[in-house]
Amino acid sequence: MMDKRLKEKLEAILTLPDLPWGEDLTAQDCKQIYDILCKIEQGTLIKRPPIKKGDYIWIVCRYRQGSSSIGSNYIRKVICRCVDKIFLNNDNSFTISTLLIEKGIKRRAIVKSNTFKRTWFLTPEEAEKRLKELQE
């Protein structure tokens, strides 16, 4: 049986003037929309990551400067990396494996979805802004 609030939401969606599926909406389509609305209400709908394989992300990293660990300084900089794999986790989050080939050496980095806009970004400008905040 359909919850009254969900039924109202479904009716609101169906009365939008520019439906992407046109006017040929079947009962099966309505059922799928209803199922999606239920998942949204329950918080179990898997959110699509804002990136896909092959996209580039910008990561604010901390690197050790100098060859010795004694007295070496750490510097922060922005590194551009290519998204290699995206893993969906059980808690509706995702983990991204990135790849950087630098001087013929492959380097991987793993970033988690909960660090988005803190350690990794979709544009270099956002990353540079965060880097400046961290250096202040």
Cα gap 74→135, rounded to integer Å = 12
Residues 61 and 85 in one domain: yes
Residues 61 and 38 in one domain: no
Instruction: Tell me if 51 is assigned to some domain.
Output: no
pLDDT tens-digit readout, 118-127 = 889 999 999 9
Instruction: Tell me if 120 is assigned to some domain.
Output: yes
- Expressed as residue numbers, the domain containing 11 is 4-42
Instruction: Tell me if 105 is assigned to some domain.
Output: yes
Q: Is the pTM of this model over 0.75?
A: no
Instruction: Tell me if 47 is assigned to some domain.
Output: no
Cα gap 110→119, rounded to integer Å = 11
**Mean pLDDT, 10 residues at a time, over the chain (136 residues)?**
65 60 64 72 69 90 64 73 86 84 82 89 92 85
Task: Check if the beta carbon of residue 130 is closer than 8 Å to that of residue 60.
Answer: yes
Tokens 């990353």 found at: 127
Task: Check if the beta carbon of residue 96 is closer than 8 Å to that of residue 25.
Answer: no
